[in-house]
Structure 1
Amino acid sequence: MLLLSVLTGYTLGIFSGLVPGIHTNNFALMLVALSPIFMDWGIPPAYIAVAIVANSLSHSFHDIIPAIYLGAPNDDMALAVLPGHRLLLEGHGSEAIRLSALGSAGSVVVSLLLAVPLAFAFSILYPVLQSYLGWLLLLISIALIMTEKGEQVINQGSLVKYKYKAYALVLFLLTGILGTFAFRMESNMNPLIDIGSSSILLPLLSGLFGASQLIISLFSGSSIPPQKYSKMELPVKRIIRGVITGSAAGSVVAWLPGISSSIAAVLARLFIRSDFEKETVAEDEDFDEQMEGSKEFIIAVSGVNTANAIFGLFALAVIGKTRSGAMVAINEIIDAASLDQQFIILFLIVISLTAFLSYFSTIKIGNNIHRFLAKLDYSKICITVLAGLTLMSLLFTGLFGLMIFMISIPLGMSASFMKIRRSHAMGVILLPVILYFL
């Protein structure tokens, strides 16, 4: 029964990870809705919770694949589109998938090692951190803007760097204002299809990071070049740093209210020196450094998502707070107060088994999907995905969500024209959360 529950959640995670617009929360809510039927069949609530945990973890492995090959991110993988797309255009799409799988698998190991000490620490520090959360996010946002260097061109002058910082501030504020408006007016969403967990983040992030990149690719005549299988050429110290950075960021935000994996990815971005979002580079050495930074960032972002999925469970057990739709679903099936040591050990076994299966299936799919995509016209793929993102925004968030999606697209495209990092568009989440806590 335990193995069947793990395999069920693992399979659902593959599906939700590979299909843009389908989130792990959809299946978590579905399993909760069906739980009375399962219990009538003699299936204990613990095994339903096991399937939800396995689904959440499997999803965190596989959602990198559509983010890189289709440019269709969810709220967890939005920033991974940027370095992943660069590797894809260099013919290393499968390497990007393997790096992501390595980041997620490494994060599982690090998270399990940090679980007990972090659980003890946050049980004490949580009230203090919650009081200063707004100021902490404000400092992170300022650091994100101040580290913007812009396009490096000879003879630009010493003051040009402030121009790009100003551009970064403008993009941060504009997307932040849009995000604040969208979240406050989210009740105006009137989805044509109610999937139970519709969020305004779908049109916001699809427009800022997905559709905007696809439109630029269409107008620039981009295509998926022939892909080649290559070993992961990245220094061990960068791999370790990426895993630790992502795991640490993901584990921290899992305890805090109002903080998503996307914000943790922004935090991880500050510790990885790379201009992977720039369109041009001047010298081969700069290019090699940027490629290494891109690879390290993919590892870190993947580690963020997996660690966040794991530590969300510990946050539920230690402080009784839910930080994701999956944890809300588990809390409805199993009361947080009943999550004793035996349950935690059970979930750790489930996490380890699911991570083992997901690591190999992610690599297997990532190594072969380009053969299928190579038979298709890339411009038609872009148009199809664009149409899909537009349709999903309309179906799942209604006309209001479609309007937000359309407004988000030019803002996402503006980063390329201003020659600044597109990660500043994460103001769409950061600014509303800062205003909420301040």
Structure 2
Amino acid sequence: MLRDLLLGVLFGTFTGLTPGIHVNTLAVLLNGALLPSLTLFAMGLTHTYLDAFPSTFLGIPDEGTALSILPAHRLVLAGKGMEVIRIALYSSFLGTLFFTPLVPLYLAIAPMYTFTIGKAVVLLLMILLVLTEKGTKKLWAASIVILSGLVGLMILRISLNEPLYHLLTGLFGVPVILIALFYETSEVSPGSAELEMDTKSLVLFSFMGTLLGMIASLVPAFTSSQAALIGSFFSKDERSFLAVVYSTNTANFLFSLVNFLETGRARNGIVMRMSPMGLSTLYTFILASLFVGILVMLYGEVISKILASIVFKIPYRALNLGVLVFLIILSAYFDGASGILALAASSIVGILAVLLGVKRTNCMGALMVPVLLG
């Protein structure tokens, strides 16, 4: 058991810290090895703790951290990058702690879920996104929701190996990098990891993220980022919003496992590769989640600081230009010319949202519209 968990933590650390390599991708590559369920679980959970690194310092998002790109990047440019990493680790661990006492509640409500309820939640969220904009920006926000939705439909319905990579990187990663290329700065550093938010706020917004992660794990195609959108209506600044995003991401993974154990429904790529199990194994996974969380907390910040210090030895504009080229190469590697076209299409919508001055969260229409029409 211990060996299985440690192997999973090792794999999850690699995918979490490596830009563009999602834990699901590695799970597919290792599928022939018939990894034990505990190893797969530890991989996925570790990834949720550490995937803040590439999205924070390199602007490369995955499904769970797409919305964190802009707030995290603002803090990086202010020399607060390592604080983002600490917020990610702390809120992920708090999400793991809150997960355990909420399991009985989850077991009671999971069987009640219907697809109609899921669509209603997504529709309400789309309406709130538009209505929270001011004045004529409501019109521009609605346009971005529709445009991103059309792009999402197109990319998700054609035959691509990594559709979410092209979609989310274009909507959220590429615009941030392009803006950074024109950012007037000569010195950007990882900075101190000291938290500039009070403990009460960290705990409160992490608990909110845990509840939102519960919702995300119930609704098919309702992602961690979509759930975190709800938190954006309550968060008061970048730090509280990031706490919501990262705790939602971790809680979503954990509750998805419980959903699988109780109903047999697989809500993420890691769980899909697990052997069928019953609720009798739940206590083992709860203990495993605490073990993995404590272990990652011991080394996560240290290894992130070492890697960040290496990254920031490169001139900032050169770093961003290199990352942009790397993103395009990854798109070509995953899906050839089709991948590059998908990345370009989603990037245009992401840039347009910036030019129109509306919240980038409206780009989540790329995932919400397909859910409503699916």
Establish whether TM, by shorter chain, passes 0.5: yes
1:21 matched to 2:8: no
Structure 1 residue aligned with 2:257, among 287, 308, 313? 313
Question: Corresponding residue for 1:388?
Answer: 326
Question: Corresponding residue for 2:181?
Answer: 218
Inter-partner Cα distance in structure 2 for 1:223 and 1:66: 21
C-alpha deviation, 1:20, in angstroms: 1.6
1:261 matched to 2:261: no
Runs of 4+ residues deviating >4 angstroms: none
Inter-partner Cα distance in structure 1 for 2:218 and 2:76: 34
Q: Tell me if the contact between 1:167 and 1:420 (Cα under 8 Å) persists in the aligned partners.
A: yes
Inter-partner Cα distance in structure 1 for 2:306 and 2:240: 23
1:138-164 per-position Cα deviation (integer Å, ceiling 9, x unaligned): 11111112112xxxxxxxxxxxx3211
Aligned CA distance change for structure 1 residues 223 and 216 (closer, same or farther; 3 Å): farther
Letter in structure 2 aligned against 1:165:
K
Aligned CA distance change for structure 1 residues 270 and 223 (closer, same or farther; 3 Å): farther
Letter in structure 2 aligned against 1:131:
T
Inter-partner Cα distance in structure 2 for 1:312 and 1:139: 23
Q: Could you say what the CA RMSD is over the residues aligned between the two structures, in angstroms?
A: 1.6
Aligned length: 374
Inter-partner Cα distance in structure 2 for 1:122 and 1:271: 25
TM-score, normalised with respect to structure 1: 0.82
Question: Corresponding residue for 1:412?
Answer: 350
1:375 matched to 2:316: no
- How do 1:29-428 and structure 2 match up within 5 A? 29-35=28-34, 48-123=36-111, 125-127=112-114, 130-148=115-133, 161-184=134-157, 186-187=158-159, 189=160, 198-222=161-185, 225-229=188-192, 231-273=194-236, 293-330=237-274, 334-336=275-277, 339-341=278-280, 343-428=281-366
Inter-partner Cα distance in structure 1 for 2:60 and 2:256: 25
1:272-328 per-position Cα deviation (integer Å, ceiling 9, x unaligned): 24xxxxxxxxxxxxxxxxxxx100111111101100110111000111100001110
C-alpha deviation, 1:347, in angstroms: 1.2
Inter-partner Cα distance in structure 2 for 1:199 and 1:428: 15
1:180-224 per-position Cα deviation (integer Å, ceiling 9, x unaligned): 12222x22x3xxxxxxxx321111111111111111111334565
C-alpha deviation, 1:137, in angstroms: 0.7
Q: Tell me if the contact between 2:91 and 2:203 (Cα under 8 Å) persists in the aligned partners.
A: no
Inter-partner Cα distance in structure 2 for 1:409 and 1:361: 35
Letter in structure 2 aligned against 1:365:
I
Larger CA Rg, structure 1 vs 2: 1
Letter in structure 1 aligned against 2:69:
V
Letter in structure 1 aligned against 2:372:
I
1:7 matched to 2:6: yes
Inter-partner Cα distance in structure 1 for 2:371 and 2:110: 21
Inter-partner Cα distance in structure 2 for 1:174 and 1:60: 29
Inter-partner Cα distance in structure 1 for 2:250 and 2:187: 28
C-alpha deviation, 1:393, in angstroms: 0.8
Inter-partner Cα distance in structure 2 for 1:373 and 1:388: 14
C-alpha deviation, 1:367, in angstroms: 3.1
Letter in structure 1 aligned against 2:244:
A
Which moves more between the two structures, 99-108 or 344-353?
344-353
Letter in structure 1 aligned against 2:257:
L
Letter in structure 1 aligned against 2:178:
I
SS of 2:46's partner is helix
C-alpha deviation, 1:414, in angstroms: 2.0
Letter in structure 2 aligned against 1:309:
F
Q: Tell me if the contact between 1:134 and 1:435 (Cα under 8 Å) persists in the aligned partners.
A: no
Q: Tell me if the contact between 2:205 and 2:244 (Cα under 8 Å) persists in the aligned partners.
A: yes
Aligned CA distance change for structure 1 residues 216 and 50 (closer, same or farther; 3 Å): same
Inter-partner Cα distance in structure 2 for 1:391 and 1:131: 40
Inter-partner Cα distance in structure 1 for 2:4 and 2:25: 17
SS of 1:243's partner is helix
SS of 1:80's partner is helix
TM-score, normalised with respect to structure 2: 0.96
Identity %: 28
SS of 2:219's partner is coil
Aligned CA distance change for structure 1 residues 223 and 423 (closer, same or farther; 3 Å): farther
Q: Tell me if the contact between 2:84 and 2:193 (Cα under 8 Å) persists in the aligned partners.
A: no
Inter-partner Cα distance in structure 2 for 1:32 and 1:369: 29
C-alpha deviation, 1:31, in angstroms: 4.0
Which moves more between the two structures, 225-234 or 165-174?
225-234
Inter-partner Cα distance in structure 2 for 1:265 and 1:367: 26
Inter-partner Cα distance in structure 2 for 1:222 and 1:407: 29
Q: Tell me if the contact between 2:262 and 2:279 (Cα under 8 Å) persists in the aligned partners.
A: no
